[in-house]
Amino acid sequence: MMKRFFILFSALALSACGGQAVLGGSPDVTVVSKDGLPEPTRVDLLSSNRPYLIGPFDKLKIDVFGVEDLSKEMQIDASGRLSFPLVGVVEASGLTPGELADELEKRLQGRYVRDPQVTVNLEETVSQVITVDGQVKKPGLYPVIGRMTLMRAVATAGGTDEFAKLNDVVIFRSVNGDQLAGLYNLKAIRRGAYLDPEVFANDVIVVGDSQARRLFRDFIQASPLITTPLIILFRN
């Protein structure tokens, strides 16, 4: 049951209010100054960063220099583990490819290979994806490798369609167990009114979706031209 939620909104229209304000007269909805959605923690990214964190079903190319039999493509299992010859089971989920390479070198050292040199490269990601939905040309799941922004994510999904509401783009995100939603205006971002926000694995982006409009209906009706991000934090 939702006991309360906070709206975090940085808007010039509210700058003269002098501190926190109550939106719609409800004590459960508080407006405070905030620049944008906070970045998710390492745990959030895994349930997604720069650098990439390995997750379930990811496909890896593992090379052990000079040992052809140990160089192969492998897939992480559903529990985030890797079963590697001579080494056994390794808890790979949550490690970077470099950290996994170090762990394999450590286990191979001495017993099986005198001076192992292991490299791990990502071949295909399944766990680190974003969802782009709503009024875009190609809704679906898209991998996040390296830095990605909202504009890039929408472009990856083929761009917005003719019915998209560019002032009505929502990013849903989980941070430290809290569910947050941020409302953005693509037109304002294109004009440079504020920075193109980063998106992270597990984010859900909805362009002009009817459910998103219901969520923000009162605010959208009161202020149709959104020029700064509107952030909502749900707490149970």
Domain range 4-44+128-235, CATH class: alpha beta
Question: What whole-number distance in Å separates Cα of residue 197 and Cα of residue 214?
Answer: 23
pLDDT, tens digit, 9 for 90 and up, residues 138-176: 999 898 877 889 999 999 999 988 778 888 899 999 888
Residues above pLDDT 70, as percent of the chain: 69
Query: Residue holding tokens 């782009």?
Result: 132
Question: What whole-number distance in Å separates Cα of residue 212 and Cα of residue 216?
Answer: 6
pLDDT given for residue 225 in this prediction: 57
Q: Does pLDDT of 28 surpass 60?
A: no
Question: What whole-number distance in Å separates Cα of residue 194 and Cα of residue 156?
Answer: 21
- Mean of per-residue pLDDT scores for the chain: 76
Region(s) of the chain under CATH 3.30.1950.10: 54-124
pLDDT, tens digit, 9 for 90 and up, residues 32-53: 445 666 777 776 666 544 677 8
Domain range 54-124, CATH class: alpha beta
pLDDT given for residue 132 in this prediction: 94
pLDDT, tens digit, 9 for 90 and up, residues 94-107: 898 999 999 999 98
Region(s) of the chain under CATH 3.10.560.10: 4-44+128-235
- Give the Å distances, CA to CA, from 152 to 77, 131, 144, 194, 231: 30, 13, 11, 15, 20
pLDDT given for residue 228 in this prediction: 66
pLDDT given for residue 66 in this prediction: 85
Question: What whole-number distance in Å separates Cα of residue 189 and Cα of residue 196?
Answer: 6
Q: Does pLDDT of 7 surpass 70?
A: no
Q: How does residue 27 score in pLDDT terms, banded at 50, 70 and 90?
A: very low
Question: What whole-number distance in Å separates Cα of residue 208 and Cα of residue 235?
Answer: 25
